[in-house]
Amino acid sequence: MPLGVYSLDARIQLARKARYSLDVQYYLIQDDRTGRLLMRNLRDAALRGVRVRLLVDDLYTVGGDPMFSGLAAFPNVEVRLFNPFCCARQSITSKYLASIADFGRLNHRMHNKLFIADGAMAVAGGRNIADEYFMRSASDNFVDMDALIVGAVVPDLAAIFDAYWNSPQAYPVGAILGESADRAQSRRDFDSLVDDGEQMMLLVLPPIDILGYGPIRDDLDEGRLGLVWGTAVAFADKPAKVMATSDEMARSMSVQMNVMDRVMAAKSEVFISSPYFIPGPMGVQEFADLRKRNVKVTILTNSLAANDEPLVHTGYARYRVELLSTGVDLYELSPTRIQHNKRLMLPGTSLGRLHAKTAVIDRSTVFIGSMNLDPRSASKNTELGILAECPQLAREVIRVINISKLQSSYRLRFAPDGQSLEWLAMDDEGDVVLTEEPDVTPFTRLQNMLLAPFVPEQQL
């Protein structure tokens, strides 16, 4: 599901059609029209008798505490916070300042994204729950990827959810925020929050998405899903990764190792989409080894201008020359070029940023998940992903990557001097060649250049 509005509608439809259970796990659920839309449908499912379990990481819950505690006040609903902060919940800064002695634990977060309906259908991938992940923000939107999943792998995903739900790191929301003295009033406040406002507007869906699929709501209504079939395995970091006392201990629990092992076993071709891409010396060597075996490697990541975490770009930029020297094809998404890519359906003049975390190996194996190829995914956050053996799915994911790569990105290459970099794109008038980071001001270039030597790579 590369199209944001289709992906959001899939979650809403599964919530509306659920009969028995909804298990929902996210790094971020924003108190905006998208977050409220989902929360309203979770409440409605609970009122029908569906058991609802909601697990959310506690980092970005600022401002959302009444929403989470309000949902928990309804029958058939449990809400838990993962790796919670103790107090001072007015802002992320105040949360950390009040818990500075516990920074080592709190610097580790649950980055998983998972939605399971009736233990039978699941949505997994890169999207959090907020306007910008579904092309609903007026200013900035993420180009992302999810998959709708059925079959034998869903019980494995359910087991992953249960492991997190039952872990010592997951706390009932009432234990952190305090139990409501008047649950009826909490429910009324929640109803007032989610039943009025823009979230009540119907989602407007185009007739088909980028890949030619129609809305999942139509398929579900007809009882006939258009699926591609393959063999898949689901895997996730252990919840205890957030309690790791060293990066080495955390990396030993990381799904990144599983994915890179599969990448390194490639025989002919690798496509990677990673918004935050910091390969490190070891990663550069691994990609170099692939190129020595004539494996073609194509990597799509964010440009400096597209990156919502500019300091992360400094970690990536350190390795561009080495990667290009090995023969890796590097593409950087442009936030302005993507505005002209009608297939992605960005609203108005909003900027686009890459957020999809996918890989395709030998045009047959596909990874879709929450994991970036960066140190934070390896040693700080917990991650979840799926590896599927399915050539048809591989073709579709490559097609989506190519749409961004060819129409919305710059290709990096060496300048004639063989050392400096150039950014190349194709326009109607011909080639566009730039000799500096595109779409950013000289001040931003200078700022990142000055900060780069002082940024600890393991924190990126």
Q: Which residues are catalytic?
A: 111, 113, 118, 355, 357, 362
Return d(Cα 170, Cα 58) in angstroms, integer. 10
Q: How many residues does the chain have?
A: 460
> What is the helix (H) or strand (E) element at residue 147, kind and residue range?
strand 146-150
For residue 202, give the nearest of 215, 213, 214 by alpha carbon: 215
Q: Are 88 and 98 in contact (CB under 8 A)?
A: yes
For residue 123, give the nearest of 107, 146, 140 by alpha carbon: 146
Name the β-bridge partners of 369: 385
Alpha helices, H only, 18-137: 33-47, 65-72, 92-98, 103-106
Q: Are 284 and 319 in contact (CB under 8 A)?
A: yes
Q: Are 307 and 279 in contact (CB under 8 A)?
A: no
Q: Which residues contact 178 (CB under 8 A, 6 or more apart)?
A: none
C-alpha neighbours within 13 Å on the C-beta side of residue 322: 16
Token reading at 149: 């999943």
Token look-up 């993962």 returns 82
Backbone angles phi, psi at 265, to 5 degrees: -90, 5
Burial of 420 (0-12, 13-18, 19+ CB in 10 A): exposed
